[in-house]
A and B are shown apart, each in its own frame.
With several copies, the nearest count.
Chain A
Amino acid sequence: MATIIGGIGTSHTPTIGIAFDQGKQQHPAWAPLFKGYEPIVEWLARMRPDVLVMFYNDHANSFFFDHYPTFAVGLSDRHTVADEGLGLRPVPPVNGHPAMARHIAESLVTDEFDISVFTDLPIDHGCFSPLSVMWPEHATGWPGVIVPIEMNVLQHPMPTPRRCYKLGQAVRRAIESYPEDLDVVVVGTGGLSHQLSGERAGYNDSDWDLRFLDLLTKNPHTLADMTHGDFIELGGSEGAEVIMWLAMRGALSNNVAKLHQNYYLAMTAAWAVQLYEEPVAATRRPAAKSRAGV
C-alpha cells in the first residue's frame, strides 16, 4: 500500500521557471522567492518520495476549449514540456508513473469522479515551474516521477472548491489502495492572489493570502465552503487557482504538521509555498530508503 508522507502547496508562474533557467537565484528581486524553497528542496532530497501526485492547471497548452475537461489524470510514461510561445525551456521531460496513474483513474471513476484521462500531451508551467525550484538538480534528468492531475481553473464553470477538496480526499483513497509500498507527496500548484485581465488586473491582497494560508492549515473546510465568487473577490480572477491547494489539502490527514511557509509578493502574482508532513513520514524516511539500499 502506498503512503502519503506529506504535501506541498506552491505557486507556479512561468516566471519562476524562467528565473531559475536564467540563474537569478541570488538576484535581490528573486532571492526571497528561491530562499523560500530551500526547506522544500532539503526535505524532498531527504525524504526521496517515489512519486509526486501533482494537482495543477493547464493554461490552454495541453487542452483547447473545443474539448475541455474538469479533471484529467495524466497516464504518460514521460511528460514533455510544452512550448508556450517562447520555444522550449531547457528542461528534460519528467517521467510519469503510468501504473499508479491508471490505478488512480480507475479508483476515481469507481468513486464517482468523472475524470478524463490523457496521454502524450506536453505539460506546461503549471507543473514544470514548481518542479524546477523544488528539484533544482534536474539538468540531466529529474530525481523523481510525477502523476499529474489537471484541474480546470480557466473556464467557468469550474469545479467548486468543495468538489476540489473531495477530489483530494478521493485521491488519498486511491493512493492508499495502490498495492505497491511507495512514498507519495501530494502537490497543489497555482496562486496566490493575482488577476491578469480587465481594469482590475494587477490586483493583490496579502492580508487575504496570509489568511488563506492559515485557514488551509487549520480549517480547510472554511475554504471548501466558499464559492469561486468569494475567491475571485478576495484574491483576483486568477487567484481562484488556489483550489489546487485545496485538493492537495484534501489528500492530507487531519494530523499533518506544517513544517514551512514562505510568502513573497513582488510583481503581479503573490508567490507562496507551504510544506506539510504526515506523522507517518517519521517511520518511512530515510530508514525505509536505506533499507531498500537506495
Chain B
Amino acid sequence: MNPQIEKIRSLPGTFLFDLDRSARGMRLNRFLCGLVRPENRSLFKSDPEIAFENAGLTTKEREMVRTKDWKAMADYGANFFALEKLGRVTGVGNPAMCAQMRGEPLEEFLKTRRVPDAC
C-alpha cells in the first residue's frame, strides 16, 4: 500500500522490513536487539534456553535462533540489523550471513567478491 515500494513487493530474493514484518517480528527483534547488553550476551551464551524463555520466544522463534537460520528469521520479521547482533555474539560475520541467505557456502560467496580479503 506504500507507493514508494509497491513496485518491488515482488522483487525476487528481497524481504522488505515493513510495518507488517515489524509487528510480527517485534518479540524476536526485542530479544535480538537486547544482545547489545553484555549481561544478555552472557546469559545467551551460557544458557540460551533461559534467555529464550525470558524473552517469551515462541517455539518457532527459538528454533530459528538455535539454528541461526538468518533467511528464515529475515522472512519471518527479524530486521537485518537485529540479526547482525546475533551474528556478532555467535561469531558469524556479515559475509557468512549473506552466504546463508543466498543458500551457498561462505567460500563460494567469497569467490563472487572482488576483494575477498576485505573482511
A interface residues (Cβ-Cβ under 8 A, vs B): 15, 27-30, 33, 59-61, 64-66, 75, 82-87, 98, 102-103, 105-107, 109-110, 117, 119-120, 154-158, 160, 179, 195-202, 227-230, 232-233, 237-238, 265-268
Q: How far is the CA of A237 from the CA of B99 in the complex (A)?
A: 16
Chain B contributes a number of interface residues (CB within 8 A of A) equal to 61
| Closest-CB distance, A194 to chain B (whole angstroms) | 9
Cβ-defined contact, A196 with B80, below 8 A: yes
Cβ-defined contact, A227 with B3, below 8 A: yes
| Closest-CB distance, A30 to chain B (whole angstroms) | 6
Given contacts A65-B26, A201-B98, contact A154 B79 (CB under 8 A): yes
Contacts of A200 in B (CB 8 A): 11-14
Chain A at the B interface: mostly helix, strand, loop or mixed? loop
B interface residues (Cβ-Cβ under 8 A, vs A): 1-8, 11-20, 22-23, 26, 29-30, 33, 35-38, 41, 70-71, 74-75, 79-89, 94-95, 97-99, 101-103, 109, 112-119
Closest to A87 in B: B38
| Closest-CB distance, B92 to chain A (whole angstroms) | 11
Other contacts beyond A106-B2, A267-B114: 20, CB < 8 A: A28-B117, A29-B115, A65-B22, A75-B23, A84-B88, A85-B87, A87-B38, A110-B3, A119-B23, A155-B19, A157-B19, A195-B14, A196-B94, A197-B71, A197-B74, A199-B102, A201-B101, A237-B16, A266-B115, A268-B95
Chain B at the A interface: mostly helix, strand, loop or mixed? helix
Contacts of B20 in A (CB 8 A): 102
Given contacts A60-B79, A202-B98, A202-B112, contact A83 B4 (CB under 8 A): no
Cβ-defined contact, B19 with A105, below 8 A: yes
Contacts of A157 in B (CB 8 A): 2, 4-5, 18-19
Cβ-defined contact, B117 with A198, below 8 A: no
Cβ-defined contact, A229 with B7, below 8 A: yes
Cβ-defined contact, B102 with A201, below 8 A: yes
